[in-house]
Amino acid sequence: MTKPENTSPAVEAAGPIFDYEMMIQEDKVHQRLYTEPGIFREELTRIFGAVWVYLAHESQVPEKDDFVTSRMGLRPLIIVRDSQGDIRALYNRCTHRGSTICRQSSGSAKSFQCPYHGWSYFNSGKLSGVPWPEGYACDFSDAKYNLAQVPRVASYRGFIFGTLNLDAPSLGDYLGPVREPIDDWLDRHPGGKVKFSSANRLKYMGNWKLAYDNSADGYHVLFSHRSLLAMENRHNEDEQKGMSFYRGSPDGAPMYVKYYPNGHHFKDKRPNIENRPGALWEIEGTFPGMEHYEALFRERYGVNADRALDLASSEPVNINVFPNLHILGNHVQVTQPISYNETDTTWYGTAVVDDDGELSGAVDDINTIRMRTQEAFPNFGEVDDLANFEQIQAGLAAEEDEWVYMHRGLGIKDRITEEDGVFTAPATDEVFMREYMKVYKRLMTTTPNIAITREV
Amino acid sequence: MQTVDGSIHTPHYIDDEYYQKLVSDFSGWRRADREVTDPVFRDSCRRFLDLEARFLDEGRLEDWLKLYAPNCVYWVPSSAEGGDPRKEVSISFDDRRRLEDRIFRLSTGAAWSQRPTSRTVRLISNIEVYATDQLEIVMVRSNFQTTEFRAGETRLWSGRYNHRLRDVGNEYEILVKQVNLINYDQNLRNPSIIL
């Protein structure tokens, strides 16, 4: 690769024009963070250009020449495993006139040709040729004609991230202790991995941060998901299904919320459940084929049936990696900002892979029912959250009523513990919002050292 | 809206055999030599689809569900023309119980994605009817366009329905309704109405 190429200073704003010091306070943030297009524009550089952004999963590009399109903020990217086997994040932007060169969401290609004037690129990003080169006086071996690329791309156990910021820490340091719940989540599967399936793709007309505010929020569950909880428990008298442990006094339950450095957060509901095979399955809500498959599993897999059924059941965790990756239940949810008030939220289903035959043939049966268990929340839970996000966006149009409060738990003695920058609090605490907003404020008031690279 | 009668009588019919048959029933059925061109028969299918659309438009969800067989499936695939639901998450894949759950949830008054409730108008057209290996079962392909008005906004849902219908004497019952949205692979805003 060439030396990183810094972007032109003329493009980069000299400094923040918004007063983030005023807008982000200890107990509250200003409504403008959600409603101001200019702030969104700054986030595209200061957040989505400055930190490690989740781009794709390695199971989406398993073979050489496989690609999937993605975005970093609004930048269109092609995530490709090139012909040498290296994973790259190419800018999906012809160096000639700027058109996107790849318009398929996924596939396999050794090269990409721009549909507009036919410039072609190898999947390493290098220009392979232009039509009628004799009409040019320039030297096309100059690296500037090769596709721009994200200069730093790295994977953590299958999750591919990239950053434009040359001064960002390593991916491992950026993730820090949030790797522990990610490891746990992966390690419950054979081989410590999953593969992506198809997705439940949703959209809401609201700011992307509304999703990030929500993803470790234990305070909304009983209210926003009231209809889902009622539905999940309509057939059983003890009402133990799904997220029922939020009933009564959720802050007294063993579950907790954790905040990790760099904006990541984690809601861990596992302590509510006994740590034994079959315990997860017991709280799984009903789904098509449930009773049949349980009987079948017990017959086919005997003593291993409980483990197999647990693998089809939703893992009760919400692991949130700032700014756009969420591991929720068995889903990998990716938040994609479209504008200050439009956001796509894509819930990738995940499937179990069993390369070493650890599950003695149960893997296909597990995945068959795991597909069904994963359809419940997007259909009956997420739609209500998204309706509420849209109504927050609508409510925030009341400009003079400036503040959004996130002070639940603040100032209460012995409620929140802190060690090495990791905060732990009862499940409905908003400490994770207050802390990630501090990181957000630091990022929004810092000019990142942004660069792109090109192949030579 | 009233809740559905809480009782569930149907056995749990979604099993390996069901999935295999579903995937096979929904592949290669649209054969020119099997198209039913008899206008009277085709019109009886059209009228049945119109009735289903009317129940949905009028929010009569219990009446709507009565059009379905005890061992029915309502299937909105996330891939073109269906794929294999054992390997893919669907936009929706409801058996009878999950359909009852869906209707129950909408009746709680706390399904915020349907507060206020959507008003819909469904147009169904381009109906084609195909015979199957079983005399009493037909496949009906149609185009649909559903206009949804909710909370001050009007939106469109478009696609193709594939109904697998069983003739039960004077009427039909729906064995499977497959809803193929034209934008099945895109991010959908508030997909909380029954399509």
pLDDT tens for A115-168 read 999 999 999 999 999 999 999 999 999 999 999 999 999 999 999 999 999 999
Give the closest-approach CA distance of A327 to chain B in angstroms: 16
Cβ(B72)–Cβ(B92) below 8 Å? no
Residues of chain A contacting residue B193, judged by C-beta atoms under 8 Å apart: none
Per-residue pLDDT, averaged over A283-307, amounts to: 94
Q: How far, in whole angstroms, is CA A26 from its chain's centroid?
A: 26
pLDDT at B12: 84
Say which of A204, A287, A346 has its CB closest to residue B189.
A204
- Is the CB of A380 less than 8 angstroms away from the CB of B105? yes
Q: Residue A300: which pLDDT band, with cuts at 50, 70 and 90? A: very high
Q: Residue B4: which pLDDT band, with cuts at 50, 70 and 90? A: very low
**Residue of chain B whose Cα is closest to the Cα of A343:** B187
- Is the CB of B101 less than 8 angstroms away from the CB of A199? no
Residues of chain B contacting residue A342, judged by C-beta atoms under 8 Å apart: none
Q: Is pLDDT of A3 > 70?
A: no
Say which of B15, B101, B110 has its CB closest to residue A292.
B15
**Taking the complete model, does pTM exceed 0.90, yes or no?**
yes
Say which of A202, A235, A286 has its CB closest to residue B188.
A202
Say which of A199, A286, A293 has its CB closest to residue B78.
A199
User: Is residue A200 within 8 angstroms of chain B, CB to CB?
Assistant: yes
- The H or E element containing residue A121 is strand A120-122
- The H or E element containing residue A308 is helix A305-312
pLDDT per position as a tens digit, A176-206: 999 999 999 999 999 999 999 999 999 999 9
User: What percentage of chain B has pLDDT greater than the value 70?
Assistant: 94
Residues of chain B contacting residue A230, judged by C-beta atoms under 8 Å apart: 104-105, 108, 110
Q: Is pLDDT of B6 > 60?
A: no
Q: Which long-range contacts (CB under 8 A, 24 or more apart) does B140-149 make?
A: B140/B45, B140/B49, B140/B165, B141/B30, B142/B49, B144/B53, B144/B195, B146/B120, B146/B121, B146/B122, B146/B193, B146/B195, B147/B120, B147/B121, B147/B123, B148/B118, B148/B119, B148/B120, B148/B193, B149/B118, B149/B119, B149/B120
- Rounded-to-integer distance, Cα A270 and Cα A280, Å: 9
- Is the CB of A372 less than 8 angstroms away from the CB of B93? yes
Could you tell me where the DSSP H helices lie in A92-249? 171-175, 179-187, 209-214, 221-224, 226-232
Residues of chain A contacting residue B188, judged by C-beta atoms under 8 Å apart: 201-203
pLDDT at B7: 45
pLDDT per position as a tens digit, A405-440: 999 999 999 999 999 999 999 999 999 999 999 999
Q: Which residues contact A10 (CB under 8 A, 6 or more apart)?
A: none
User: Cβ atoms within 10 A of the Cβ of A346, count?
Assistant: 17
User: Is residue A106 within 8 angstroms of chain B, CB to CB?
Assistant: no
- Is the CB of B89 less than 8 angstroms away from the CB of A371? yes
Q: Residue A17: which pLDDT band, with cuts at 50, 70 and 90? A: confident
User: Is residue A227 within 8 angstroms of chain B, CB to CB?
Assistant: yes
Q: Residue B8: which pLDDT band, with cuts at 50, 70 and 90? A: very low
pLDDT at A65: 98
Average pLDDT, chain A: 95
Give the closest-approach CA distance of A372 to chain B in angstroms: 7
User: Is residue B86 within 8 angstroms of chain A, CB to CB?
Assistant: yes
Average pLDDT, chain B: 94
Residue B33 tokens read as 């030599």
Single out the residue of B92, B99, B53 nearest to residue B184, CA to CA: B92
Residues of chain A contacting residue B110, judged by C-beta atoms under 8 Å apart: 226-227, 230, 384
Q: State the burial class of residue A3 (Cβ atoms within 10 Å of its Cβ: 0-12, 13-18, 19+).
A: exposed
User: What percentage of chain A has pLDDT greater than the value 90?
Assistant: 91
pLDDT at A234: 87
The larger pLDDT score, comparing residue A3 to residue A430, is at A430
Residues of chain B contacting residue A288, judged by C-beta atoms under 8 Å apart: 14, 73, 93-95, 97-98
User: Is residue A112 within 8 angstroms of chain B, CB to CB?
Assistant: no
Per-residue pLDDT, averaged over A46-62, amounts to: 98
- Is the CB of A231 less than 8 angstroms away from the CB of B115? no
Instruction: Calculate helix-pair angle for A363-377, A290-301, nearest 10 degrees.
Output: 150
User: Is residue A294 within 8 angstroms of chain B, CB to CB?
Assistant: no
User: Is residue B79 within 8 angstroms of chain A, CB to CB?
Assistant: yes
pLDDT per position as a tens digit, B144-169: 999 999 999 999 999 999 999 999 98
User: Cβ atoms within 10 A of the Cβ of A144, count?
Assistant: 13
Q: Is pLDDT of B1 > 80?
A: no
- Is the CB of A375 less than 8 angstroms away from the CB of B185? no
**Residue of chain A whose Cα is closest to the Cα of B191:** A383
- Is the CB of A198 less than 8 angstroms away from the CB of B83? yes
Size of interface A-B (CB pairs under 8 A): 130
Residues of chain B contacting residue A284, judged by C-beta atoms under 8 Å apart: none
Walk me through the domains of chain A, giving residue ranges and CATH numbers. Answer: 52-164 (2.102.10.10), 177-443 (3.90.380.10)
Say which of B88, B108, B191 has its CB closest to residue A226.
B108
Which CATH number among 3.20.20.150, 3.10.450.50, 3.30.420.40, 3.30.450.30 corresponds to the domain B16-181?
3.10.450.50
Q: Residue A14: which pLDDT band, with cuts at 50, 70 and 90? A: low
pLDDT per position as a tens digit, B62-88: 999 999 999 999 999 999 988 899 999
Sheet holding A127-129, edge to edge: A111-113, A120-122, A127-129
Task: Report the SS3 class of residue B44.
Answer: helix
The label of the residue with tokens 């997909």 reads B191
Per-residue pLDDT, averaged over A311-335, amounts to: 97
Please work out, in degrees rounded to the nearest 5, the angle formed at the alpha carbon of residue A289 by the alpha carbons of B184 and A199: 25
User: Is residue A107 within 8 angstroms of chain B, CB to CB?
Assistant: no
Cβ(A5)–Cβ(A454) below 8 Å? yes
pLDDT at B3: 37
Single out the residue of A55, A91, A96, A87 nearest to residue A75, CA to CA: A91
pLDDT per position as a tens digit, A243-278: 777 888 899 999 999 999 999 999 999 999 999 999
Give the closest-approach CA distance of A126 to chain B in angstroms: 31
- The H or E element containing residue B178 is strand B172-181
Say which of B6, B86, B186 has its CB closest to residue A201.
B186
Q: Which residues contact A46 (CB under 8 A, 6 or more apart)?
A: A443, A444, A446, A447, A448
pLDDT at A214: 96
Residues of chain B contacting residue A211, judged by C-beta atoms under 8 Å apart: none
Q: Is pLDDT of A323 > 50?
A: yes
pLDDT at A230: 93
Q: Where are the domains of chain B?
A: 16-181
Say which of B12, B101, B112 has its CB closest to residue A289.
B12
The larger pLDDT score, comparing residue A63 to residue A13, is at A63
- Is the CB of B78 less than 8 angstroms away from the CB of A372? no
- Is the CB of B108 less than 8 angstroms away from the CB of A227? yes
pLDDT at B94: 98
